[in-house]
Amino acid sequence: MRRFAIYPGSFDPITKGHEDIVHRALTFMEGIVIAVAHRATHEKRGLFSIDERVELIREVFRDEPRVEVTAFTGLLVDFARRRGTNLVVRGLRAVSDFEYEFQMALMNRKLYPELETIFLAPDVRYSFLSASLVREIAALGGDVSEFVSPTVKDRLEAKYRELAR
Ligand code: ADP
């Protein structure tokens, strides 16, 4: 069986920190399914729609056939079961991520006993990076080129121009 993992998140938008985690995971996995979590109650708070996020991630990984991008609703464990894998990848930036991630991993395992969560640490350049910080910098007219791919930067700038109108 092909060994692949699911990398779930909100990816609003995908950052170089997320990209770094995917590249690291691909050094020992045959494929990664990037799964954009769609929670109806949370959507209003997002900047990009779920479809836009999926489209942006596809664009970023257009030359990487081992990456599949999709949206999902409902429980991650149900999605993982449906897709036929028991592996989930998550990034750990700092100790502050740990408590939440650990709690999630153990709860997910409770719901799906074979589920394993693999934690990967990003390059230190990205250990302080979050999508919310990137949104904030872009909203205030700052330069985010160090933190996101060029295509994401363009879309962020266009989005804030659109919102300012
Ligand atoms: P964010 O916290 O940036 O909104 P998500 O909710 O989309 O990110 O997170 C999805 C996963 O990616 C989580 O496991 C999160 O810890 C991880 N992640 C987010 N940003 C980074 C980063 N800069 N480096 C490593 N992992 C990251």
CA 41: distance to chain centroid?
19
Coil, strand or helix: which one is 103? Answer: helix
The CATH fold assigned to 4-128 is Rossmann fold (3.40.50)
The model's pTM: 0.93
Per-residue pLDDT reduced to its tens digit, 18-53? 999 999 999 999 999 999 999 866 656 799 999 999
Nearest to 56 by CA among 148, 127, 126: 148
Coil, strand or helix: which one is 36? Answer: strand
Per-residue pLDDT reduced to its tens digit, 84-138? 999 999 999 988 889 999 999 999 999 999 999 999 999 999 999 999 999 999 9
CA–CA gap between residue 77 and residue 93 (Å, rounded): 23
Most distant CA atoms of the chain, gap in Å: 51
Domain limits, the chain: 4-128
14 φψ region: left (φ > 0), alpha (ψ -120 to 50), beta (else) = beta
Which of 18, 39, 76, 92 for mutating ligand 1's site (highest number of atoms within 8 Å of CB)? 18
Is it the case that residue 5 has pLDDT exceeding 70? yes
Atom number, ligand 1, closest to the C-alpha of residue 126: 23
User: In angstroms, what is the span from residue 97 Cα to ligand 1's centroid?
Assistant: 9
User: In angstroms, what is the span from residue 133 Cα to ligand 1's centroid?
Assistant: 11
The burial of 130, by beta-carbon neighbours within 10 Å (0-12 exposed, 13-18 middle, 19 or more buried), is given as middle
User: In angstroms, what is the span from residue 90 Cα to ligand 1's centroid?
Assistant: 7
CA–CA gap between residue 68 and residue 158 (Å, rounded): 26
